Structure 1
Amino acid sequence: MAPTTNARRRLRRAGSSRRWMTAALIGAVALTAGCSSRTADSPAATADSGTLTLVDQRGETIALDGPAAKVAFTVMPAPSIFAAVDRSYDRIVGINQSTLVANQGGMFATMFPASAESPVVAGSDFVPNVETLVGLDPDVVVQWGDRGPDVTRPIEDAGFPLVGLEYGTQEDLETWIALFAQIAGKPERGEQLVEWQRAEQTAMRDKVAAQSDPRPRAMILSRTGDTYSTTSASGYDGFQFDLVGADLVTKGFVSDSGQVSPEQILTWDPEVIMLSGFDQSTPADIYADPRLATVSAVQNKRVYKTPLGGYRWQVPSAESPLMWQWMHQVLYPGERTGELRENIRVAFDDLFAYDISEDEIDQVLRLDLNEDATNYDQFLR
């Protein structure tokens, strides 16, 4: 069944260009007093024909008749980033199954009730459900652009325009923000969010450079049943652990599945363990595992469940600066009660147009799961 054409504003492919969106869209932008310096001939400029053009991470140049009214996301955490750009969920019509789980389990459904019932357009393999897409009839579908034709071709064969993304670096995150701002018709908003991310990176680097304490050994850990897995230092965690002043113990670790044995964790002996938000593991589970009893983080009660805000904070998102602050305070605890809470309050208002309550901040910070962790009382209200 082919998608209808009269209900959807068509995106037209305008050829191919191998320019990076970050360099063309963000790097040449200077924000002064909240004003944009975007030039008329940038990749996101409005042409005389009334179209908006953008360059995705495949290097494809795409033209849009105007800001998209309906956007489907087969990938995560893209919807929460788009919602932060738009300060709304109104344009999002389809999401990944994993995103739906995160929405229903955290703050996102509270802020945007419709997100708890969004149609699912792809699962964990990111293969699109074309029949569902046809029924939703989005103006554009956002998909991984570097995972082969199995995930992109069905969308394009069905006649839907596709914006392809790549994942793994802070530069990728900034590119997503810029792309989503163009899709929403809000380029200046994208510039502001990127500038915030960059300013927070600079502030964090300055803070870490001024420290005299030894860098803690740390890791991200996932648990499913009795099986553990972790992340490689070559990915986003390598960037953000270094940014906040920690030595990621998984440096040099190579595994297609990410699985890691308890014996390897014992050898690494992390001083701090941060638990993934993609599973149901808790600090209590880790403390109760006799195989990890002699790990420093277990003995010193320094195992922490990562926060869940608009999305899981551990991965690149619009909320990443909040994750960096949380990580740094967990690694280097001090008398800073209330600092992160106030920053969450301000950020949620700016990102999601939402006035978050004290109880909801407790929920984001997983105070119920982390209450017994060393120095977690610094996050109390």
Structure 2
Amino acid sequence: MQAILESNCVKIISEGALLLEMPHLWLRDNCPCDACRVTETQEKSFILSDVSADISPSDARISDNTLWINWPDGHQTNFNIEEVLALSSPRHQPPLSWGQNFQPEYFAWTKFLSDDAFATVAIQSFLDFGVIVINKAPQALETLELLAPRLGPIREVLFDRIHNVCVNTHVYNIAHTPLALPPHNDFASYSFPPSAQALHMLENEVEGGRSIIVDAWAVVEKLRQERPDYFEILCRFAVPFREFDEANETYAVEPMIKCDTAGRISSVRFSNQLMQTMDPMMEGVSAFYQAYHELCVRITDPMQRCTFRLEGGQILLVAAHRVLHAREAFTPSGKRHLQDAYFELDNIANKIVQLKRKSEVTLV
């Protein structure tokens, strides 16, 4: 390998091919030495404004798979080349496709809470597919509070910390009726809606009312491939959503689809019941409604649905920015009582890190 110092970067050539190209400012900003880092935390202490924008190394060389950089002020920087190459690998594995005839995996409540290895498998399945079912949970009020050690703290929202969903409860949306509930994610009316939701069935003695889940990311990815014009409209046209009762109101105006900086879908915001009437004279409304109609057709397509009955003692956990949930209509001939609460996907992903580190310590 050879290091070549150029006017604005350092290139590393291996076997005649470009292996790495690192801008001078990147090299200085990411210096890993103790003088540029807080040694206890490995956070940066050096700030880029302390050097000029046209800073350039005095020289660059490679020794023992390490790039050594000398700077005009005498500072020295070194990088392990393998570690720099590893930066191109994603930190988290991408979500997995459901495939045909998908059904969420079921995990026993007791083992999920008591067995770290079992919980690791369950949480990884949730992160991969956006949904799992926790089975044989206590059929007791506030049971969702007990999930915090595995999922992180409950995210507080308006309308109660843990919500009761049954026909004879406080009615502020369609979920508290026996009507069919179309695919949606909750609190589309928040600027940043909760990214995970746990739905705990306490009792289910009614006829009908089967649960439905839809992989919205898969739906909109196919829309992007087949109708990129519609996809683009849904990514940029802001839509109003509102949820309210006598005492509270949440209101947000956001696009239905959001992507990260790499163009990967990061969230779908879809709630027929919370979407509000918009000014028909707004620029782009007609084009939006054509795109929205196509999205509705695809999301409500029976071929996109995974349908099952959520029984008493079962908890449906969904990654709410990806997986839409729904419910068939039911006849309120018996009891049907569900409680739900919200969590955050970042906290759940962190639990995998904690569990794996705990396992490594135990093995040592």
Q: State the TM-score, normalized to the length of structure 1.
A: 0.25
| Higher alpha-carbon Rg | 2
Structure ranking higher in strand proportion: 2
Q: State the TM-score, normalized to the length of structure 2.
A: 0.25
Structure ranking higher in helix proportion: 1
More relative contact order, 1 or 2 (CA 8 Å, 6+ apart): 2
